[in-house]
Amino acid sequence: MKPNAAFNHFVNSVFGIDTLALDETKDNANKIIGAINHSYKDGKFGEFTINLKKRLWRLSDVIKSNPCNRKVLTE
Amino acid sequence: MATSNWPGYYAELAVYDFFTAFTDVQFEISVPATETLAKHTGANRKETSFDGCLTAIENLTFQVKALKDITKELIDNIRSAVLSEAKAEHIVANYPSDIDYKRIEDNFELLVKTLKDAISRKDTPTELKDQLPEISFRIFYERQKILTSEHFYLPYCHAQEWETFVLKHFDQLYDAKNNLIVYVSHPWFNGLHIPFMGRINFLRAFCRRVFCKLSKETRPISSLMPNQWPNANIQVSEIVKRIGAILFLFDDNVEPIAPGKLLSPVHPMTAYLYLNPNSQCANSSNRVFDRLINEMHPGMLSVIEGFEFDNY
């Protein structure tokens, strides 16, 4: 999996399909995308990825009742 | 977050997570620039954006900034700029980590040029003796297995060198309301402010310099930060009075939490709140921040400091 594809999958697994659609042929890799890609590939940065996903789940619950906040988070 | 400016977005995410754990938050709001200190910048701006507003706590607005090791970031950028055009294997920099980053920023182009010139002469050690005698570079033309560098750090020196840092975004403060500034640190963009490097010493010294020293600074910001705010016509003391408090969030989510450690609802974040004893809204400030503190869950704040008996 390419780094952008891993990041798309990570975000969309919380906020819903098609929330994020980075060009999977390009390489936008920064430290966050790189760490998430590693966690899919070889399990590295597991603690970080788990904690970030928990954060996104918490925020996902919070923005359900506030479409404006959802827009800020997902755009 | 899929950009090179990911620390800023990451910081906002952390702050939204922190606040929504105990109160209602409106993410991102814009107000007319005339209601904010943007009107003193000398630029013709229509709106000022805030990163959020705590709607249940008297609509307290907040700005979020990533607390980065800017010096390291600048040195890394210098290294990349040089190595993208000149041929060398490694450039190692020895520098004090508590240096005023603005001095490196101001000499950025000169440093890049000096290093490129040094590489064209195949020099190994390089420095800017006149402008930045504290920084030295070593250039390697063959691949090295091990690279070492020297850095010095004193939290009180760092606080002194950084005392105007908070003024960098003064245009994003409300004029007639309380302002909360939130700085977020993460090990991947700030390796400096870790507990055994005197984190608390730095935070307290930094805030005390801002709240107690700069609140007496009558010079205009244009004379303290001429490169960034050449046309701004407001006294530094007037800016500082508008800061109600500074909250620092340290997001240590990279390492596993030690077993048995008591967790706050937003672990692995550690929060430190410093209140401005010289805020212009001292009375309403106390009320607003008392509410903020009372709404938080137990364990969310590691430090609350108001400088009541240390305000001189």
The amino acid at B147 = L
pTM for this structure?
Answer: 0.94
Instruction: Please indicate whether, in this complex, the C-beta atoms of B17 and A4 are within 8 angstroms of each other.
Output: no
Are B134 and B95 in contact by the 8 Å Cβ rule? The answer is yes
Q: Looking at the predicted structure, is the pLDDT value of residue B282 above 60?
A: yes
Are B188 and B233 in contact by the 8 Å Cβ rule? The answer is no
Residue entry with tokens 């996902």 = A60
For B105-138, what is each residue's pLDDT tens digit?
999 999 999 999 999 999 988 888 888 999 999 9
Write phi, then psi, for B203 (nearest 5 degrees).
Answer: -60, -45
* pLDDT > 90 in chain B, percent: 79
Nearest chain A Cα distance for residue B41, angstroms:
27
pLDDT-derived band of residue B263, with 50, 70 and 90 as boundaries?
low
Residue A33 host element (H or E)? helix A31-41
What does each C-alpha distance from B150 to B92, B99, B134, B182, B240 come to in angstroms? Answer: 9, 14, 11, 31, 35
Residue A17 to residue A12: CA distance in whole angstroms:
5
Residue B83 to residue B22: CA distance in whole angstroms:
48
Write phi, then psi, for B162 (nearest 5 degrees).
Answer: -100, 10
Angle at which helices A46-63 and B6-20 pack, to 10 degrees? 60
Sign of CA dihedral B211, B214, B218, B219: negative
A–B: how many Cβ contacts below 8 A? 53
Write phi, then psi, for B304 (nearest 5 degrees).
Answer: -125, 125
* B2: closest chain A residue by CA: A28
Instruction: Please indicate whether, in this complex, the C-beta atoms of B26 and A68 are within 8 angstroms of each other.
Output: yes
Largest CA distance in chain B: 64
Instruction: Please indicate whether, in this complex, the C-beta atoms of A48 and B253 are within 8 angstroms of each other.
Output: yes
Using the Cβ of B284 and the Cβ atoms of chain A, whether some distance falls under 8 Å is answered with no
ipTM confidence: 0.94
Decide the pairing of beta strands B269-275 and B301-305: parallel
pLDDT-derived band of residue B264, with 50, 70 and 90 as boundaries?
low
CA B227 to chain CA centroid, Å, is 18
SS3 category, B298: coil
**What is the DSSP secondary-structure string of B126-191?**
EEETTTEEEEEEEEESS--S-----EE--HHHHHHHTTTGGGGGGGGSBSSS-EEEEEEE-TTT--
Provide mean pLDDT across the span A3-27.
89
Instruction: Please indicate whether, in this complex, the C-beta atoms of B253 and A68 are within 8 angstroms of each other.
Output: no
* pLDDT > 70 in chain A, percent: 99
SS3 category, A75: coil
